[in-house]
Structure formats: structure tokens, C-alpha cells
Amino acid sequence: MSTVGVVGLGLIGGSFVKAYHEAGWQVLAANRTKSTLEFAKISGDVDGELTKENVGSCDLVLVTIFPEAAIQTIREFAPYFGTKPIVMDCCGTKRVVCEACFPIAEEYGFTYVGGHPMAGTKYSGYKYAKANMYQNQPMVIVPPKYDDIFLLDRIKELLRPVGINHISVTTAEKHDEMIAFTSQLAHVVSNAYVKSPTARIHHGFSAGSYKDLTRVAWLNAPMWAELFLENKDYLLTEVNGLIERLDAYRKAMEEDNIQELTDLLNEGKRMKEEVDGR
């Protein structure tokens, strides 16, 4: 029987726990709040606590907590991993974690890979974890070597039981640059947009557009604040670019320049069609 170890029983880690349990794996877990770990054990999703004594028996160890905590956990477990498990963090940024953990892995002789599952919900916590959250979802991988086909094949096999259908291999730098646009900027915009005084009286006047734009305003503030600051160089570039583009719309409206406004809107529509299709 294959064994997975999961550190952190929030939404991400809890969903991995449930998915591997349903796939028939033995599941070991560690969590800061012991009551959550006990609940997961009572529910049958977790077979036992992940410890320094048994972590080396795992085929895969997933560290699904905040970046700085992930680094500290991997450092503490480093002497006990051994050569069997693939150790993978699941943090939302990769440079800080990978820069710290690749040298630790090399020092202690275990295999560490940076990871980021492209799945989630607006909710957090184990009670919202779902066994099917990763079904047909992609995952980004930052390996120590990009030409190690055997390692990549092993990672694919280890992730296959949870339903991940596509793996993108990249560098920590490229990951963070892309995620600043595809995820972090969206959270900043959504969170700022809903602060309009009009939001308090929107009921009865809003539909899909409001729901789509505000979905990720509901977030885990401490986690996202840490991720934003770790990636602030790329994220500030995106924020500043958005402010400049918004200013062009504001100027066109202030000047009652309907042609300029129409051109701006058509340009945005055309860009959407080019990058995502109709």
C-alpha cells in the first residue's frame, strides 16, 4: 500500500487527505491544531499522525501550509525524510520556498520539488475540503532538475490518484511572475472592488458580473498578505500596470471622448478573444 504524508489540514491539505484516502492510500497527517487532526482520524480520512519516526516510510509528503511555516517544517523534518519520499510544498509562491528548500534537500539527501495545485475555493479549513477538488485540475511543478524524466514520471504517478490531469514544469521565477497576474492581481482587484460604499446596497441590482468579480474577495487574509509580500516585485508591476490602464478609461470618460472609450473597450474585448477565445 502506498503512503502519503500531509502537513496542514486546511482546504488544500484536507482535500489531498480525502482524495488519497478514497484512492486507497494510507494517509498520515500533521496539523498545528490537534483537534482538527483528531477529527480527521475519527472520520477515517487519516490513518495516523505524521511524525519524524514514520515520515521516511511515505512515498509522498505534501507540505500544505504558509510559505515560512513550510520552510521551517521541511527544515525540521529534513534529517528524517531519507531517500524514499518525494517532498513537495504546495505554497502559492515558489521563489522563497524553493530557494530555501533546494539547499536543505541537497544537504540531507532527500528529493524536494516545489508544487502549486491550481485548484481551490473561496472557503478555507478542513470542513470545506473535498475529495474531488483536484479532479481534472492542473498543477505547477518546480523540480530541482528540468531534464530528469524519471523524476517527472514519478511525480505524475504519485499525483494521478487525486485526479490531477496536467502538470506544468517551470522555474520558481516564472511561476511567481505568472501567478502575480493570474491569481494575486485578481484577489487584489476583487478585494478592493467590494469596498465601494455601493456594495452595501447592491442587493437586487446585481447578478453574474458582481458575483464573478467579487468571488475571491472572500479570502484568507494572513495567507494572502504573506504571499503578496513575498511576490511584491511581480505583483506591484501588475498593480501599477492596471492603475495606468484604468486611468485611460477615466480620462476618456472625464473628457466625454466616446471614440476613445469605444476603442479602449474594443481593445479589451479583442485581447480577451485572442488570449482565451470567445
pLDDT at 119: 86
Query: CA 139 to CA 156: how far, in whole Å?
Result: 10
CA distance 9 to 17: 8
Which residue ranges does the chain devote to CATH 1.10.3660.10? 175-276
- What pLDDT, in 10s, does the model give residues 89-105? 999 999 999 999 999 99
**Distance separating alpha carbons of residues 245 and 24, to the nearest angstrom:** 51
Asked if the model's pLDDT at residue 121 lies above 80, the reply is no
Architecture of domain 175-276: Orthogonal Bundle (1.10)
How far, in Å, CA of 74 to CA of 80, rounded? Answer: 10
**DSSP-derived pairing of the beta strands 166-169 and 111-117:** unpaired
CB 50 within 8 A of CB 29: yes
pLDDT at residue 81, as a whole number: 98
Whether the full predicted model's pTM is greater than 0.85, yes or no, is: yes
Once rounded to an integer, what is the mean pLDDT over residues 185-213? 90
In the chain, residues under CATH classification 3.40.50.720 are 3-170
64-74: per-residue pLDDT in tens?
999 999 999 99
Max mean pLDDT range (191-200, 217-226, 246-255) = 246-255
Task: Tell me the C-alpha distance between 91 and 70, whole Å.
Answer: 8
- What is the per-residue pLDDT for 260? 98
Q: 121 or 275, which is more confident?
A: 275
Q: What is the pLDDT of residues 151-178, one digit of tens each?
A: 999 999 999 999 998 999 999 999 999 9
For domain 3-170, the CATH class is alpha beta
**190-210 residues labelled b (16+ CB within 10 A) or e (exposed):** bbeebeeeeeeeeeeeeeeee
Residue 215 pLDDT > 80, yes or no? yes
The secondary element (H helix, E strand) that includes residue 90 is none
